Structure 1
Amino acid sequence: MSWNVTTGLDADQLGLLVERVHRALVEDPEPPVTPGRMWALSLNKSVVLVLFLLRQNPVQQAAAELFGISQATVSRRWRALLPVVEKVLARHVPDPAEASAGRIVLIDKTLVPTWDWASEGTALFSGKHRDTGFNLQVAATLAGDLLTVSAPVPASRHDTHAWRQSSFPQALAERDGTGDLGHAGSGLLTPRRKPPRQERSTADKAANRSINTLRAAVERATAHLKDWKIFATRYRGPLARFSLVAKAVTALTFYKKGW
């Protein structure tokens, strides 16, 4: 079985990832789980399980039924192996300053919704989206190739704040870049706002069309990032672990594309 639809990786990529995870566990003096003692579910199936949870974002009870194990085993493998998967794939995440050298950089932001529905008025609640979650800043090239993804910021914070809190201003310094209206004041080229109680001029409309045409590429990159449904649907795990999840998904995206 190739597991391509389940995990998002082809057979060769999956096999290499399992080998790296096995090596990391063997070399770890205090491994979170011992490969030789994984009776309920083999290491190969356990890595598939972690990728399945990231790619399809099912509830753990559904994953347990599909894999023929208990929900408790799903939870244990998820907690133990997600950090290992992120660690062994971190080498595939390029340095954004090097990857963007000589390129125009397109910036987008996206909301990853979370389970914290009771947090209206708190740091995770986005008044714009009327939902709770984390703000991720995404950088891509004019060809739509992903360059980097920022650390998550509570969704209540403005896009310009999220930009400044990220590593983007330093990593992408001296690059020509564009953002959307939420990035006004960041130093990026952004569409022109409509003047109060006036219509945009013909020149402003033409400029905005040109910028929005360019920005279609970063929107495609963001859409591909959200092929990992844990970003596209609702993240239900502990909020403290979302940063690790974001790193793992970013690393998997680059790994899948062959970086």
Structure 2
Amino acid sequence: MHTQTTTGMTAEHYAILAERIENEFTWNRRRGRPRTLSLAGALQITLLYYRQNVTEQLIADVVGISQSTVSRTIAVVEAMLNVVVDDEQPDVDAALRGTTAVIDGTLLPCWSWADAPELYSGKHKTTGHNCQVLADLSGRLIHISDPMAGKHHDAHAFRETGLADTVNLSNTLADKGYQGTGMVTPIKKRPSEDHLPNYAKHHNRFVNTHRYVIERTIASIKTWRIFHTDYRRPLRTFRDAFNAVRGLIFFTRQKTNSA
């Protein structure tokens, strides 16, 4: 089942990931209840869950195990992934040295929990977590920030995640939601103006022409559908799942020996 379409991972990346887990952890316990699945099987269903965001019950029915076993397995593998793919993001300073950056925020949708009203995004009219995505002008993914409650606007999230202190503001393109941050953003028409001046039109055309790459980058991130459709597990598990998937996204973008 470890095909790239199903799990988001080539056979080479899958083998490397499994080897990292085997080197770091003992899967088959000497004491206690034996695990229902092999490490390979457990890793496969966890990747399937992240990549497709199907229900645990569907995975259970396909594999022939109980839903509770699927849930426990994902939690165990998730903790392991948070160790073995924890340090995959490149250093932002090094990756962007001398290069123009492009940034945008995106909402990672989730269920509407009654005790978490801060997740509601007025902009998107739904609940989720805001994260900031940074790329270069070629669309190469550089950084995915830690998530924040969906109520926060992009400019606030940009400052609070620390990216405002990391990127070269004068060499970073952003949309109107980031005006006032010091980055290069489109120019708004003033109330006293009937039309935008020509210089402002040229500026906006330049910014918008180059900003499209970040939309493409975000779309590629959301091929991991756990970032694209509602997160259904308990809210307390979101951060661990987010960290694991973020690590996997950067891990799968690395070249293997056969690449």
Common topology (TM > 0.5): yes
| Structure 1 residue 251: Cα displacement | 1.4
Determine if the alignment matches structure 1 residue 248 to structure 2 residue 244: yes
Q: TM-score, normalised by structure 1?
A: 0.90
1:148 to 143, 151, 156: 143
Q: Say which SS state the counterpart of residue 139 (structure 2) adopts.
A: coil
Determine if the alignment matches structure 1 residue 176 to structure 2 residue 161: no
| Structure 1 residue 219: Cα displacement | 1.3
| Structure 1 residue 175: Cα displacement | 6.4
Measured in 2, the distance between the counterparts of 1:193 and 1:118 equals 38
- Structure 2 gaps of 5+ residues are none
CA pair 185-5 structure 1, distance change in 2 beyond 3 A: same
2:227 to 228, 231, 234: 231
1:188-203 equivalences under 5 Å are: 188-196=183-191, 198-203=194-199
CA pair 175-21 structure 1, distance change in 2 beyond 3 A: farther
| Structure 1 residue 62: Cα displacement | 0.7
| Structure 1 residue 185: Cα displacement | 1.1
Are the aligned partners of 1:22 and 1:35 in contact in 2 as well (CA < 8 Å)?
A: no
1:39-188 equivalences under 5 Å are: 39-116=35-112, 118=114, 122-173=117-168, 176-188=171-183
Measured in 1, the distance between the counterparts of 2:169 and 2:154 equals 20
| Structure 1 residue 4: Cα displacement | 1.9
Measured in 1, the distance between the counterparts of 2:91 and 2:235 equals 26
Are the aligned partners of 2:53 and 2:229 in contact in 1 as well (CA < 8 Å)?
A: yes
| Structure 1 residue 98: Cα displacement | 1.6
Measured in 1, the distance between the counterparts of 2:246 and 2:16 equals 18
Give a deviation string over 1:162-199, Cα, whole Å, max 9, x none.
Answer: 00111212232466111111111111111112334844
Q: TM-score, normalised by structure 2?
A: 0.90
Q: Which residue of 2 aligns with 1:14?
A: 14
Measured in 2, the distance between the counterparts of 1:125 and 1:237 equals 17
Give a deviation string over 1:98-135, Cα, whole Å, max 9, x none.
Answer: 21112111101101111016579x31111111101111
Measured in 1, the distance between the counterparts of 2:169 and 2:211 equals 19
Give a deviation string over 1:139-175, Cα, whole Å, max 9, x none.
Answer: 0000000000111111111211100111212232466
Measured in 2, the distance between the counterparts of 1:42 and 1:188 equals 49
Q: Say which SS state the counterpart of residue 91 (structure 1) adopts.
A: coil
Are the aligned partners of 1:102 and 1:175 in contact in 2 as well (CA < 8 Å)?
A: no
Are the aligned partners of 1:41 and 1:69 in contact in 2 as well (CA < 8 Å)?
A: no
| Structure 1 residue 69: Cα displacement | 1.0
Q: Which residue of 1 aligns with 2:215?
A: 219
Measured in 2, the distance between the counterparts of 1:167 and 1:38 equals 44
Q: Partner letter of residue 136 of structure 1?
A: C
Matched pairs, number: 252
Q: Which residue of 2 aligns with 1:29?
A: none
